[in-house]
Amino acid sequence: MSQISANNPVLKSWIEVSSGSDFPIQNIPFGVVKSENLTPRVVSRIGNKVIDLKTLHVLGYLENLPFELSDFDVNLLNPMMKKGKKAVRDLRNRLSKLFDVNQPDLQKNEQHVAQVLIPVENVCMCMPVQIGDYTDFYSSREHATNVGMMFRDPANALLPNWLWLPVGYHGRSSSVIISGEPVYRPKGQIKPNPEEPPIYAPCRNLDFELETAFVTFDGKPLGESISTEEAEEYIFGMVLFNDWSARDIQTWEYVPLGPFLAKNFASSISPWIVTLDALQPYKADGPAQDPEVLSYLKYKGQLSYDIQLEVFIEPENGEETKVCTSNFKYMYWNMAQQLAHHTVNGCNIRCGDLMGSGTISGPTPDSYGSMLELAWKGTRPLKMNDGSERRFLQDGDTVTMRGFSSKDGIRIGFGEVSGKIYPPKG
């Protein structure tokens, strides 16, 4: 497959990029925007400028690539993604070249520049992908251990299957929402008193889950499997993912079939999809796996990624408090193993499927990826900067997750995923 020339760390763009920006020329993520003046369309971004791919195509700058105008003049990335990994890699390389400071073609055409670049504050980010199926894994050993210690047996925190396979469940795509959309506190069955029957009430233990998710290209036909070696060829890119959770509803409902209404009321994604190509310089070793995994889960080389992840809570009219710093590389099972396991039985993956990592907790108490763990089931309330305390999330709280990879002065960031909690709807 073609080289990823867009990742060259020496590249500079003629678009201004402030230091500390998540979006240098080496990132080139994909998203969908609209505005009062613009129909929804496929875009990329450098610095604080949105790059209008529809207009670039109309003006002839995307010639000799396997894309049509209709791939960009649309409110979803799926048609573009349908063209596959090589096509998207070549598109990213082309964009890198067009906006390279040493390339005059577009740079010197003021009229075209004015048509192609849009200040990011002038557009509204749209849900970028039509998500087909949504799967959520449970791949952080620290998270699974913490939850097992709290709810089961501290001496046998991990269930017997956990070290043998990437545990997961099929979630619901209809309630995956984009950053900024409101989150309404769910209602349901909870059982505050173990000696008494359940009650119908608003969730009292509302939580976030710090996750990432990956979005797939078309996979293989039903019946075939994707190997760990092939897996990354089927991954388009990643987003930050807040898998909101109602812990009290979950505790009562989850036996024996697993998560249901505690999980499917909202899951928020960040609007820019950072390609797996852009993350290649940040590959990292994953945790050692013991016992040795079965043959279809074995892999060669580095398949984890060094992505720093942070969670902030901002109370209504208050200031933001950082409550968690974690890292994607702590994940026990990597994305290639997740995809290999998901397809080992012949399950087919389609363009636009979303796979959540599971809550990403690290080894130290400040790296736990949920309120459940940070406040240890409510027994160690978190202190906020405004003096208030949190056991779980309150109405009016805004939870924001940020993530980035950084090396040799180049920072590839995801922007953020944010959501504010509102009281239950009627």
Nearer to Mn ion, 243 or 373 (CB): 243
- Give min distance, CB of 241 to Mn ion, in A: 8
The pattern of x and - marking residues 10 through 49 that bind Mn ion according to CB under 5 A reads ----------------------------------------
Measured between alpha carbons, how far is residue 379 from residues 17, 158, 202, 265 in Å? 44, 22, 21, 26
Task: Give the angle subtended at the CA of 280 by the CAs of 274 and 282, to the nearest 5°.
Answer: 95
Nearer to Mn ion, 172 or 283 (CB): 172
Nearer to Mn ion, 45 or 247 (CB): 247
The string of DSSP letters for 311-375 reads EEEE-TTS--EEEEEEEGGG-SS-HHHHHHHHHTT-----TT-EEE------SSGGG-SBHHHHT
For Mn ion, the binding residues in 89-128 under the rule CB under 5 A are none
- Give min distance, CB of 375 to Mn ion, in A: 18
- Give min distance, CB of 259 to Mn ion, in A: 8
Pick from 150, 362, 359: which is nearest to 245 by CA?
359
Contact 338, 355 (CB under 8 A): yes
For Mn ion, the binding residues in 222-281 under the rule CB under 5 A are 243
Nearer to Mn ion, 92 or 143 (CB): 143
Nearer to Mn ion, 52 or 209 (CB): 209
If binding means CB under 5 A, how many residues of this protein chain bind Mn ion?
3
> Is 373 one of the binding residues for Mn ion (CB under 5 A)?
no
258/262 Cα distance (integer angstroms):
10
Nearer to Mn ion, 161 or 193 (CB): 161
Alpha carbon 151 to its chain's center: 27
Burial annotation 5-22 (CB, 10 A radius, 16+ → b, else e):
ebbeeebebbbebeeebb
322: β partners: 312
- Give min distance, CB of 414 to Mn ion, in A: 17
Which residues are marked as active site? 143
Nearer to Mn ion, 337 or 357 (CB): 357
End-to-end CA distance of the chain: 53
The string of DSSP letters for 73-124 reads SSS-SHHHHTT-HHHHHHHHHHHHHHTBTT-HHHHT-HHHHHHHEEEGGGSE
In the bound complex, which residue of the shown chain has the CB atom lying closest to Mn ion?
243
- Give min distance, CB of 358 to Mn ion, in A: 6
Nearer to Mn ion, 278 or 355 (CB): 355
63/142 Cα distance (integer angstroms):
48
- Give min distance, CB of 244 to Mn ion, in A: 9
Pick from 280, 238, 212: which is nearest to 30 by CA?
238
- Give min distance, CB of 230 to Mn ion, in A: 26
- The contacts of residue 256 (CB under 8 Å, 6+ apart) are none
- Give min distance, CB of 269 to Mn ion, in A: 13
For Mn ion, the binding residues in 205-224 under the rule CB under 5 A are 209
Q: Is 242 exposed, middle or buried (0-12, 13-18, 19+ CB in 10 A)?
A: buried
274: β partners: 238
> Is 136 one of the binding residues for Mn ion (CB under 5 A)?
yes
**Count helices and strands in the chain by DSSP H and E runs:** 10, 26
- What residues make contact with Mn ion under the rule CB under 5 A? 136, 209, 243
